[in-house]
Copies of this chain bind each other. A is one copy, B any other.
Amino acid sequence: MMAELSDKEYAMQRIQEVNTALSDGMYVAARRMLHNMPACDIALLLESSPPKSRAIVWKLVDADEHGDILEELSEEVQKSIIRQMAPEKLAAATEGMDTDDLAYVLRGLPDQVYQEVLKSMDERDRERAETALSYDEDSAGGIMNTDTITVRADVTVDVVLRYLRLKGELPEATDKLYVADRNDKLIGEIALSRLVTVDPSKVVSDIMSPDIVSIPVDMDETEVAKLFERHDWVSAPVVDADQQLVGRITIDDVVDIIREDAQHSMLSMAGLEDDEDTFAPVLKSTRRRTVWLAINLVTALLAAMVSSLFEDVLAQMAVLAILNTIVPSMGGIAGSQTLTLVIRGMALGHIGSSNSRWLIGKELAIGALNGVIWSVLIAAVVALWMQSWLVGGIIAFAMMMNLLAASLAGVTVPMILKRFDIDPALAGGVILTTVTDVVGIFAFLGTATLLLS
Contact = CB atoms under 8 A, between A and B. Distances in A.
Interface string A282-304: 11011001101100110111011
A155 interface: no
Interface in A310-341: 311-312, 314-315, 318-326, 328-330, 333-334, 336-337, 339-341
A374 interface: yes
Contact of A258 (B174, B258, B311, B369): B258
A93 B172 CA distance: 37
Contact of A6 (B213, B269, B301, B348): B213
Interface of A: 1-3, 5-8, 11-12, 15-16, 19-20, 40, 44, 47-50, 161, 164-165, 167-170, 172-175, 186-187, 192-199, 210-216, 219, 223, 226-232, 234, 243, 251-252, 255-256, 258-259, 262-263, 265-267, 269-272, 276, 278-279, 282-283, 285-286, 289-290, 292-293, 296-297, 299-301, 303-304, 307-308, 311-312, 314-315, 318-326, 328-330, 333-334, 336-337, 339-342, 344-345, 348-355, 358-359, 362, 365-366, 369-370, 373-374, 377-378, 381, 437
Nearest to A71: B232
A360 B255 CA distance: 31
B337 A292 contact: yes
B3 A212 contact: yes
Nearest to A263: B262
A-B complex: 10 closest residue pairs judged by Cβ atoms: A321-B321, A262-B262, A266-B266, A232-B252, A315-B318, A270-B340, A48-B350, A170-B193, A278-B345, A19-B354
14 contacts: A2-B211, A3-B211, A40-B230, A44-B349, A172-B232, A269-B340, A270-B336, A297-B374, A299-B329, A304-B323, A314-B318, A315-B318, A325-B325, A325-B328
A196 B161 CA distance: 6
B293 A330 contact: yes
Contacts of A259: 229, 258-259, 262
Number of copies: 2
Interface of A is mostly: helix
A300 B282 contact: no
A107 to B, nearest CB: 21
A294 B227 CA distance: 40
Nearest to A169: B197
A175 B323 CA distance: 64
A383 to B, nearest CB: 14
A198 B193 CA distance: 16
Highest count of chain B CB atoms <10 Å: which of A11, A169, A211, A251: A251
A19 to B, nearest CB: 4
A344 B263 contact: yes
Given A8-B227, A44-B350, A262-B263, 12 more contacts: A3-B213, A5-B213, A40-B231, A170-B196, A234-B251, A255-B258, A267-B340, A293-B330, A293-B370, A300-B325, A307-B322, A315-B318
B341 A322 contact: no
A300 to B, nearest CB: 4
A330 to B, nearest CB: 6
Nearest to A276: B341
Contacts of A289: 334, 337, 366, 370
A326 B325 CA distance: 11
Given A40-B231, A278-B350, A279-B359, A266 B8 contact: no
Nearest to A271: B337
Contacts of A251: 234, 251, 255
A240 to B, nearest CB: 13
Given A170-B193, A197-B167, A314 B321 contact: yes
